[in-house]
Each structure stands twice: as C-alpha cells, then as structure tokens.
A and B are shown apart, each in its own frame.
Chain A
Amino acid sequence: MTEKMFSKETWLETLRGLTTEYTVFVPVKDGDFHVFQPLEKETVPDFDYQNARLSPKSLVYPQSERMFEYSLDEEDPERRILKEAPKEYTPRAVAGIRPCDAHAFQIVKRNFDNPEFRDPWWVQRFESTTLVGLGCNEPCPTCFCTAMGGGPFHEEGLDVLLYDTGETYLARSCTDKGEAFLTNAGGGETADEKTLKRAAELPGKSAEGMPESRKVDPVREKTINDLFDAPFWEEVAFACINCGTCTFLCPTCWCFDIQDEVEGKQGDRIRNWDSCMFPLFTLHGSGHNPRDQKFQRVRQRFMHKLKYYVDKYDDGFQCSGCGRCVQFCPVNIDIREVLQLMSNDG
C-alpha cells in the first residue's frame, strides 16, 4: 500500500501529466449536473461534486456498443460474415469516482465475468480501467450505501482511494493497479501526521451525516413466493410510469438487448442497454408477454435487485445505494421504502 499526499493544484497537474499514459476521465460540470469526460487541455474538472447524474458504468459498458459488423454487398466474398467491430482498450483511469459506483462495478462483474461466462468486451475494458475513487465527506440525503454493504470511504472495487482533507488529497492505493497508477503519477509527498490524522477522521464524520439506514436483513429470510405474491406491489407500482430512468441511471443494472442495424450494404450488430420497465423487454416471439402488466415489471426490478440476486449469490444486494433512482424517479418511487416493505410485510 502506498500513501501519498498531493496539494489540490498538484493533483490536477499530476492528472494532466498522466494523460499520456491513460485516458483520464474526470467529473465535469455540464449545465445542471456532472458527467465524466476525458481530461483534455480545455477540460475543467470539478471534484467538488456530489456525484455524476449518469453513473460511470457506461465507461465500461456503453449504452450502445457495436459488437460485430458485416457486409451485405453481394460482390464481397466475405459478405454476411460477422467480424468483430474495432474496439478501444487503451488504459483508462476514472478519477473522482464515488465508492458506491466502484462497488457497483463489482456487482455488475458477477454478470459479465464469472466462472461460467466471460464477456470479452466488458472484461477487457474493465481490466484496462483504473478506478481512482474520491471518498464522500458529505453524503446526500438519498445515499444509502452503508445499508448495501458499502460506505462513503469503502475501498472494495477501487484501485486508489482519495481522502479530501481540505487543502490536500491523501491518495491510498488499494490494489496493484492502483499501486501502478500512483507510480505512474509520480510526485506527491509522503503523508504528514496532520493529513493522516485528518483523513482518519473523515469516514467517521461522514458516517454521522449519513441518513440512518434501516434494517434490511429480514428480506433474506423471506421466501421468494411470499414476496412475489405480497400485497404491496400494486401500491408500489401505482405511480410508476414505466420509464427507464431508474434502470438507465443505475450503476448496477446490466440488462441488454442485441439488435442488427443496416445502412446500405453495411450491417452492425449492436448491444444496447435494455430496461425491465419496458414492455418489449420480455415480449416473446409468439406475441405472449409474461410481464405485460406494469406491476409485474416493477416487481421484477425490485425482486431482481433485492431478492433473486441475494439468493443466487449470497453476497449482498444488486444495489450499491448510490440513490440515483431515489433522487430522479419522476414519480418518487423510493427503493428504500420498497426494501422496508419487503423486509416487514412480505
């Protein structure tokens, strides 16, 4: 483990210096909210932020990704043969990612990189990405990472964790990748006593500002059928408009759809994010839809995250508690409330 101290100005210069080795993504204020953008000459990063509106999952798992391409030109001897579309795997670093979003990558990894299946594109992109986290000194009222097994200074999933101690950042490596990042970064000073002490106090102070998390363990003990048939789903789903805001803003939603798009004689096979909120999501070729009602789709989203995943992997929820769906659900369906219902009444 390496610990280094950077003044905030030096840190920015250091990041700029690293752009020869990595594409460095940083939070940038774009209108009313923050987005992760590559650090370029003109880019003005803003680390004094709560979190990005859209989760950084798209950096590893883009909303639309060209998987294969093919020719439909009858003259082309290789017509109709799928070829892998060119992809980019040069080293990247995401600087300022929040611990909840890094934790989310570990959750998504279960789907894309497991003993049974390895998704080559997700894996290669994830492996070429270094996650340089920024601990949360001031969690939002909608944050509930601690209830989901994470925390505002949680290191799981991060390669480096930064502590904002006011004038300086204390950077602590958490993995070999993080170690390499700090080595590449160079510079920085050995952390002094004062900075170490301040950094050590931050998680505790932050925890005080965390909204109180309620007991969520009982949901593990409920049977799937009892929860599935629970009486509260109709009320939970009533307000839902079945838009994709929750799933598309979520750092842990991983479902996708594969489509072929053709323009002229060129064809592309594209993988697009999908959403269990959309009626098309489970529409069968026969025309039958096993989830043709709104409440079934809403129930699926919560059951997947808070029950099926829990039972299948026995390692927490498919949720990192970032609170985006709570903040931006247009009709105020609050996953924390649903979790309570599932814990109490199921």
Chain B
Amino acid sequence: MIEYTEKIRAIAKKLLEEKTVDVFIGYRKGTVPMMNEPLLIRDPARADLLHWDSNCGLNLCNYLTKRTERIGVLANGCNSRNIVTHIIENQVKREQLYIIGVPCTGMIDHRAVKRAVGQKEIADITEKDGSFTVKGKDFEETFKKADYLQTNCAACRHRNPVEYDEMVGAPVEEQEAVDPYRDVRKIEAMSPDEKTGFFQQLITNCIRCYACRNGCPLCYCPTCFVDESRPQWVGKSSDPTDTMTFHLLRAYHCAGRCTDCGACERVCPVGIPVRQFTKKLNKDAEELFSWEAGLSLDQRPPLDVYRPDDYNDFIK
C-alpha cells in the first residue's frame, strides 16, 4: 500500500500541472498513528504531502458531494463503489472526476492493534510487505497485516476499484472464499427479544456525536432528520429510545446503498460496531435483489426502481 505513495504524488502533480483537474483529493500522513487526514490540494507543488498506506480507512467520496470543479480523487474498491453510487444519485458528475484507482489489501483496524499491545500508547507505525511495526515507550512489535484488518476489509470482495481513469498499480487478487455475513446469520438466528437486547446493548455507550452518520458518504441530506426542528422527529436527550431511533433510521437510509466501507465503524469514538445495523440490509439487498451497491454506473439501485413484472412476489 505505502509503495503507491510516490506514484500517487506523481499522478497528482501531473494532473494539476496539466490542469486536467482543478483540485486533488487524497490523504496526508496523520499527526497521530493510524489516523491519516483527508487532504485537498490545488497547487502541484504540494503533491508531496500526499500519502497512502493501510490507515486510509475513511471514505474520500464524502468530500465530493456537490463540488463543481474538476476533481482528481483516489479510490480503492469500496471508495470507488461509493463514487459510483454518488454519480447515480446525482451528487457528482462522472465527467468532473479523474479517478485514480488504488488496488487495496485492506485497512488496519486501529482498535485491534491497540488491543494487541495492551492499550499502550503507540507513538509510531510503519508498514512493509504485508507487515507493520508499532513502536511506543519501551516496546516495539511487528504484526502481520492480514491478522489486523478492519473486519469489513477482512471480508471484502471488491478490493480493486470498479471505476477509474488510471490505476496506480496492478490489480490485487480478490478474496473469493470470504463470508461477509457470518455475523448477520448469528443475529438472524436470535429470538425477537434477543435481537432487541443485542441491539440495545450495542448502543449503550453511544454519545450521539453522529460521527457514524457524518463519516458515511451516503449521508449527504441537506438537513438530516435528526437535525430537523420543525417538526422535530427525534429527541435530543440521551434517552435510549431516541438513540435507537437514530441508529435504525440511519441504517435504513443506507439500505441498498451501503458498500460496507467501514468508515462509520472506524470513526466511532466509543467503538460501537455500528455496521451490525447496516449489514443485514446489505445481505437482504444481495439475497432479494442480487444487488451489491456501486458496482456499475449502468444499473439503478433496487430501491429506486419499480417494475410491474418484478420477479419478486413480495413487491406486487
């Protein structure tokens, strides 16, 4: 992953110099280990700030919404699928974009790494050839990246970009034998009461900061339902019913659109596995409509199409 950095800088520099794009959106290396910062540059001389490694787990598609310039943007598998979704949903135009495809071997789960070093403070992380090394006061440990992937990356079936203008490297091998819905089936097997309990337990630590919503490229409504004040749909206090209402509605707004990029889960300051809310909907979309979001610009998403001859009975 980190080996793409030089190539990315060169491409960005060229695109800006030749005025193919007005701005370039990528990442810069973070001031805190395992936290890179999304960055927009206009000046080709600043291309050297760009950085790519296994800690780019946000979703750059967030930063495309309603922009009007010509944009160069980095996209790995899931980010490219979100860009496709954005184009289909008229949030940005394909012709505005110059997509630099980044084959991806997954992002590091920063919480798992901290757990592995006993929550000690990590001062630095470096990666090389499928491993990474973390250092802190009095310790240095090397791990295999494959063992510390974000759970969405470990079960990812689209590591290579689906839409791009240029690739930074040869495609990586796709993971064929992964089962992205193992945890969903466990929940499906629960009784209704157990399910209620499971989801209530999941959000007990929620502080309603809305990072999961705001980190998600699908959440671009000009006014979110939780911010509506006339009428106000959801209470603002820490009442568990309101918190649950937020999480359930957020998830349902993502139905048939979510690419399981994992940004929502990555950004949560209290570590709630919020993908548990969206994954069942992804599974349903796949099983009921043979649909995975963002794979093609030529097909409308299942929830905005109605066909009288739909082969599913439940919709007639």
In the complex the two chains form, what is the Cα distance from A50 to B120 in whole Å? Answer: 9
Residue A278 at the chain B interface, CB threshold 8 Å: yes
Q: Pick the contact of A64 from B62, B229, B238, B266 — CB < 8 Å?
A: B238
In the complex, which residues 267-310 of chain A have their Cβ closer than 8 Å to any Cβ of chain B?
A: 270, 272, 275, 278-280, 283
The answer to whether B209 touches A243 (Cβ under 8 A) is yes
* A89 is an interface residue with CB less than 8 A from chain B: no
How far apart sit A242 and B209, CA to CA, in the bound complex (Å)? Answer: 9
Instruction: Please tell me if the beta carbons of B114 and A32 are within 8 angstroms of each other in the complex.
Output: yes
CB distance from B229 to the nearest CB of A (A): 7
**Residues of B contacting A328 with CB < 8 Å?**
269
* B210 contacts the other chain (CB 8 A): yes
Q: Are A142 and B58 in contact (CB under 8 A)?
A: no
B32 near A332: Cβ-Cβ < 8 Å? yes
B235–A261 CB distance below 8 A: yes
A180-188, A223-231, A244-252: which lies at the interface: A244-252
Given A63-B238, A279-B223, is A337 in contact with B31 using a C-beta cutoff of 8 Å? Answer: yes
Instruction: Tell me the residues in window 232-266 of chain B with beta carbons closer than 8 Å to chain A beta carbons.
Output: 235-239, 266
Q: How large is the interface on B (under 10, 10 to 19, 20 to 34, 35 or more residues)?
A: 35 or more
Taking the nearest CB of chain B, how far is it from the CB of A49, in angstroms?
Answer: 8
Give the complex CA separation of A50 and B114 in angstroms. 13
Contact B271 A330, beta carbon cutoff 8 Å: no
Contact of A329 among B35, B207, B238 (CB under 8 A): B35
Residues of chain B within 8 A of A327, CB atoms compared: 32
Bound Cα distance A247, B137 (Å): 29
Do A275 and B209 have beta carbons less than 8 Å apart? yes
Q: Give Cα A239 to B31, complex, Å.
A: 14
Q: For the complex, what is the distance from the CA of A242 to the CA of B237, rounded to whole Å?
A: 19
Contact B209 A331 (CB under 8 A): no
> A64 contacts which chain B residues (CB < 8 A)?
236-239
A238 to B40, CA, bound (A): 7
Given the known A-B contacts A272-B236, A330-B211, are A32 and B39 also in contact in the complex, defined by CB atoms under 8 Å? no
The interface centre, meaning the residue of A54, A141, A245, A331 with most chain B CB atoms within 10 A of its CB, is A331
| A257 contacts B by Cβ under 8 Å | yes
Of A31, A54, A247, A336, the residue contacting B31 (CB under 8 A) is: A336
- For residue B136, which residue of chain A has the nearest CB? A141
Cβ-closest chain A residue relative to B267: A330
Among A32, A244, A249, the residue within 8 A (CB) of B271 is A32
Name the distance in Å between A284's Cβ and chain B's nearest Cβ: 11
Task: Please give me the residue from chain B that is nearest to A279 by CB atom.
Answer: B227
Q: Which residue of B lies closest to A143 (CB)?
A: B121
Candidate in B62, B111, B239, B270 with the most chain A CB atoms within 10 angstroms: B270
Is A241 located at the chain interface by the 8 A CB criterion? yes
Known: A140-B121, A239-B38, A243-B215. A330 touches B227 (CB 8 A): no
On whether the beta carbons of A138 and B137 are closer than 8 Å, the reply is yes
Q: Is there an interface contact between B237 and A332, defined as CB atoms closer than 8 Å?
A: no
Q: In the complex, which residues of chain B have a beta carbon less than 8 angstroms from the beta carbon of A249?
A: 269
Residue B119 at the chain A interface, CB threshold 8 Å: yes
Chain B residues contacting A241 (CB-CB under 8 Å) are 62, 211, 214-215, 267
How far is A141 from B33 in the complex, measured between Cα atoms in Å? Answer: 10
- Least CB distance, B126 to chain A, in whole angstroms: 15
Interface flag for A177 (CB, 8 Å): no
Does A53 sit within 8 A of B, measured CB to CB?
Answer: yes
Q: Which residues in chain B, 123-177, are within 8 Å of chain A measured between CB atoms? A: 123, 137
Residue B36 is within 8 A (CB to CB) of chain A in the complex: yes
CB <8 Å contact, B270 and A53: yes
- B residues lining the A interface (CB < 8 Å): 30-32, 35-40, 58, 62-63, 111, 114-115, 119, 121, 123, 137, 205, 207-211, 213-215, 223, 227, 229, 235-239, 266-267, 269-271
Name A's B-contacting residues (CB within 8 A): 30-33, 50, 53-54, 63-64, 138, 140-142, 209, 235, 238-239, 241-245, 247-249, 257, 259, 261, 270, 272, 275, 278-280, 283, 326-334, 336-337
For this complex, 14 residue pairs linking A to B, each with C-beta atoms less than 8 Å apart, are A32-B111, A32-B119, A241-B62, A243-B267, A257-B236, A259-B236, A261-B235, A327-B32, A330-B35, A330-B211, A330-B215, A331-B58, A332-B32, A334-B31
